[in-house]
Amino acid sequence: MLKTTYSLKQLGTVDTFLGIQVRMTPTGLILHQTKYAMDLLLSAGFPNSSSVPTPITVKSSTSDSANQQFADASLFRWLVGSLNYLTITRPDIAFAVNSICQHMHAPTNADFLALKRILRYIQGTKSYGLPLQPGNMELTTFVDAD
């Protein structure tokens, strides 16, 4: 019988893990995907696009062309899947990405415009991440009873 033993070695501080970058700060860690976001913007053709202040807008287009099927559904699905991976460290885009995920089966031109808005938002917020700080890990929620 062959016996194999494994041991873990401390290789130093972590810099990147599964595409998630780790930045040490005086108060803890920040998990971010800046390189992934820049690569995504470059692949999507948005490397120097102008940024927008929010990832989603409340008004929608009601024109006939906005309701037509988007010509390249595979591109739409690829971009949405890439954005979905980015939500690991970007909870600020989770709602917007989820809303366009609901249209993956038959995306319209309006859905693609919403996707482009998220990409433009990421352009201005590439370095955002998820801060992790030691201390009380108690989950607190707030609800508006109205």
Number of domains in the chain: 1
Owning domain of residue 40: 16-132
Residues in CB range of 65: below 8 A, 6 or more apart: 109
The string of pLDDT tens digits covering residues 61-77 is: 666 666 899 999 999 99
Instruction: Please state the rounded mean pLDDT for residues 4-14.
Output: 68
* Predicted TM-score (pTM) above 0.95: no
Q: Residue 58: what pLDDT?
A: 81
* HSE (side-chain half, CA atoms, 13 Å) at 7: 3
Cα diameter, the chain = 71
The string of pLDDT tens digits covering residues 105-114 is: 999 999 999 9
With beta carbons less than 8 A apart as the criterion, state whether 33 and 19 touch: yes
Is the pLDDT reported for residue 16 higher than 90?
A: no
Label residue 85 by pLDDT band (50, 70, 90). very high
